[in-house]
């Protein structure tokens, strides 16, 4: 089975600064999808950004961007101009189209934004 | 699109009672997932369905847990009898091609 690893249980960033959250995954598949989800204290799981493995261009959504390194099986999330509302748990996820649309989640990184 | 709808939002019950959690996926989504989230174990996949058929239930902790999807617009997760260690937030999520859309979760407390 595919595994997703988030090696940073906790991170902090000063407001307006940039922070990068790490994610690596293990797979033998060539076609798959990667996601970052945000879970604020309200517990709602919110999709932040997605990346298709066949696309070489890194996905960007406003202040959120990814650094997708397919050969290294790395998928980091960069948050620019951090805001207080960015404080949350962030989960990296892998979706396999070849195993019945199964999703695999990392253990999460808790991000604190310091005013 | 109302999103994935879960009910109830909160459930408090006594040990030994039956608990039923409900989920309405997004219309047109053919995959439905049940997850459990706790501080100790994080986000765990319990079971998922494709086209109303259970595909993988290896995450269901024990026989006290059961899940059904009688049609494309409704699923239940039942715990009978409930135990204090079942206390957690239970998420339902649905997907079509990509990505996964989550409901707001049910916070279950078993006393």
pLDDT in tens, chain A (115 residues): 679 999 999 999 999 999 999 999 999 888 899 999 999 999 999 999 999 999 889 999 999 999 999 999 999 999 999 999 999 999 999 998 777 678 899 999 999 999 9
B40-76 in b/e burial notation, b at 16+ Cβ within 10 A? eeebebbbbbbeeeebbeeebeeeebebebeebeebe
Question: Are A102 and B48 an interchain contact pair (Cβ–Cβ within 8 Å)?
Answer: yes
Contacts with A, B 46-105, CB within 8 Å: 48, 50, 55-56, 89, 91, 93, 95, 98-102, 104-105
Predicted confidence band at B78 (pLDDT cuts at 50, 70, 90)? very high
Q: Cα(B95)–Cα(B29) distance, rounded to whole angstroms?
A: 5
Q: Taking CA atoms, what residue in A is nearest to B51?
A: A100
- First vs last C-alpha separation in chain B: 36
Q: How many CB atoms lie within 10 A of CB B36?
A: 22
Choose from B9, B90, B100 for mutation: most chain A CBs within 10 A: B100
C-alpha Rg value of chain A to the nearest Å: 14
Size of interface A-B (CB pairs under 8 A): 52
């Amino acid at each position: 089975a595919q595994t997703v690893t988030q090696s940073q249980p906790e991170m902090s960033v000063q407001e307006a600064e940039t922070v990068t959250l790490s994610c690596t995954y293990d797979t033998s598949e060539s076609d798959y999808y990667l996601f970052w989800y945000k879970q604020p204290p309200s517990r709602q799981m919110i999709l932040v950004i997605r990346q298709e493995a066949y696309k070489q261009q890194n996905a960007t959504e406003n202040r959120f961007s990814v650094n997708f390194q397919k050969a290294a099986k790395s998928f980091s999330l960069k948050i620019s101009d951090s805001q207080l509302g960015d404080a949350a748990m962030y989960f990296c996820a892998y979706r396999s189209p070849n195993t019945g649309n199964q999703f695999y989640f990392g253990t999460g990184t808790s991000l604190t934004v310091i005013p | 699109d109302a999103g994935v709808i879960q009910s109830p939002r909160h459930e408090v019950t006594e040990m030994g009672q039956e608990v039923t959690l409900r989920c309405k996926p997004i219309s047109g989504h053919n995959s439905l997932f049940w997850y459990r989230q706790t501080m100790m174990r994080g986000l765990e996949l319990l079971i998922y369905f494709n086209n109303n058929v259970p595909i993988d239930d290896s995450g269901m902790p024990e026989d006290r847990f059961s899940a059904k999807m009688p049609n494309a617009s409704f699923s239940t997760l039942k715990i009978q009898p409930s135990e204090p260690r079942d206390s957690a937030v239970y998420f339902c999520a649905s997907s079509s091609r990509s990505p996964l859309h989550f409901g707001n979760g049910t916070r279950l407390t078993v006393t």
